[in-house]
Amino acid sequence: MSELIKLKNKANQYSVLVVEDSKHIQKQMKTFLGKLFKEVFVADNGVMGLELFKKNLPDLVLTDLTMPLMNGHEFIEKLLLFSPNTRIIIISAHAYEENIIKFKKLGIDEFIQKPVNYDVLISSLLNSLMKLENKDEEDFDDIFKFLYEVKLENKPLELVNHYKGVPFIHEAKIINIHKDKVLLKTENVQIKAIKYEGETTLHFEDKILVGTFSEYDEVNKIITLINLSEVETSSKNRREVRVDPDELFTASIFANSERYNYKVESISVCAIAFKAKNVTSRLKRGDKVDLVIGFKTEHEASFENKIIHKERLAFKALVYKINKIDEDYSKIIFIYELKFGDRKILENYISQRQLELVKEFKELRI
């Protein structure tokens, strides 16, 4: 069997990130890798590369060294700080001995000289995926050893899910463990949330795992999770509650003498997230803007009546993150610090919205 066929058989389960400033090489790589890998992400420089990596967590990274904004050296250092076990292949015209020695000390032993010889690239990709598979098997074994220990100690796990920002957190008991799956018992509301999201986060002391929903045994009330993997962070650790706003919620961004209205994805007392089209040509990380949001809140009145208030808050905000979703759309997050009175108003809206979403979730048929 040729190395290309072997690579094709392996790569279709994995994703890859290409960090390269040359549009010509980007296009070549995306075309070639797109025929092999499950997903291919492309970044123009190290800054964008880090953002895409943190958002999509690809299995493999191919990177140049000479790039604008953040070069390959800095990108690799920051990437390995965030994800120390990531498999990296360096593709560069600068195959200096000192570079090769430096990166070998970091555990990177795949270095391809430009212009790229595709036979060499295929061989490097295949080697990296084989090492990745071996590491996955080791991690997989470690995860199930850990779960067996938890089961033997008869201790509960904690499951974390969300519905439009509203958290659902309940304990779960391990019923059984098979080679590639774990069977759990938990509260009905948590099972519903898991089925809605298609996955759940498992917490036990300082260990955090993510598992994919596979099936639910309604007779015995047992849920089965597969594809378990360890992660470093969890939404459980959010400092502030964030919710999806209702349809009447409005938000306008004022920047560069322009007004922008994008779809609001979530809101908290310190941050707001939008889904925006072609935003990178208008805003960039660190920009300061004016935000105006509008919404309605309910207030108790006499004789069991309720008064509807129309609220309007205007404040300064900072572009904190811009994460590319696809070729057209990005997720843009603004952070801010509200005055005491404005914060209380927004807290009231978020509390009321949480109650609405809990009621909505109860009525949801899954």
pLDDT number for residue 75? 82
Q: What is the mean pLDDT of residues 138-145?
A: 67
Asked whether residue 138 carries a pLDDT value surpassing 60, the answer given is no
Q: Which among 218, 224, 219, 220 is positioned nearest to 179, based on CA atoms?
A: 224
Task: List pLDDT tens digits, range 85-100.
Answer: 778 888 877 655 666 6
Least-confidence region, from 131-140, 157-166, 333-342: 131-140
Q: What is the mean pLDDT of residues 343-353?
A: 96
d(CA 364, CA 97): 61
pLDDT number for residue 97? 60
Asked whether residue 136 carries a pLDDT value surpassing 60, the answer given is no
Task: List pLDDT tens digits, range 223-252.
Answer: 999 988 888 888 887 788 999 999 999 999
For residue 200, what are the β-bridge partners?
211
pLDDT number for residue 82? 76
Asked whether residue 349 carries a pLDDT value surpassing 90, the answer given is yes
**Block residue for tokens 């300061």:** 288
**Block residue for tokens 């004789």:** 303
Q: What is the mean pLDDT of residues 59-82?
A: 81
Cβ within 8 Å of residue 292, ≥6 positions away: 251, 252, 254, 312, 313, 314
Q: How far is CA 141 from CA 154, 177, 229, in A?
A: 20, 12, 11
Task: List pLDDT tens digits, range 105-120.
Answer: 666 767 777 787 888 8
Q: Which among 329, 225, 204 is positioned nearest to 277, based on CA atoms?
A: 329
Higher-confidence position of 133 and 271: 271
For residue 294, what are the β-bridge partners?
250, 312
Asked whether residue 22 carries a pLDDT value surpassing 90, the answer given is no
Q: Is 349 helix (H, G, I), strand (E, B) or coil?
A: helix
Q: 203-234 burial, b if ≥16 CB within 10 A, otherwise e?
A: bbeeebbbbbbeeeeeeeebbbbeebeeeeee
Contact of 314 with 285, CB cutoff 8 Å: no
Asked whether residue 342 carries a pLDDT value surpassing 80, the answer given is yes
* Helix, strand, coil tally for the chain in percent (to 5): 35, 35, 25
Percent of the chain with pLDDT over 90: 39
Look up residue 333 and give its two tokens: 């997050």
pLDDT number for residue 160? 96
Phi, psi of 161 (to 5 degrees): -140, 170
- Domains by residue range for the chain, with CATH: 3-139 (3.40.50.2300), 155-235 (2.40.10), 250-363 (2.40.10.220)
- Name the DSSP letter for residue 185: E
Task: List pLDDT tens digits, range 297-337.
Answer: 987 766 667 788 899 999 999 999 998 888 788 999 999 99
Q: What is the mean pLDDT of residues 180-184?
A: 88
**Block residue for tokens 């009905």:** 188
What pTM was computed for the model? 0.61
- HEC sequence for 89-111: EEEECCCCHHHHHHHHHCCCCEE
Q: Which among 271, 224, 278 is positioned nearest to 251, based on CA atoms?
A: 271
For residue 238, what are the β-bridge partners?
none
Phi, psi of 233 (to 5 degrees): -130, 165
Higher-confidence position of 69 and 156: 156
Q: Tell me the average pLDDT of the chain.
A: 86
Sign of CA pseudo-dihedral 112, 118, 122, 123: negative
**Block residue for tokens 């309940």:** 170
d(CA 358, CA 350): 12
Higher-confidence position of 195 and 10: 195
pLDDT number for residue 104? 66
Q: What is the mean pLDDT of residues 156-178?
A: 93
Asked whether residue 57 carries a pLDDT value surpassing 80, the answer given is yes
Cβ within 8 Å of residue 117, ≥6 positions away: none
Higher-confidence position of 282 and 212: 212
d(CA 24, CA 242): 41
Percent of the chain with pLDDT over 70: 92
Q: How many residues does the chain have?
A: 366
Higher-confidence position of 241 and 68: 241
pLDDT number for residue 303? 61
∠ Cα 304 306 310 (to 5°): 170
pLDDT number for residue 34? 84
d(CA 336, CA 320): 9
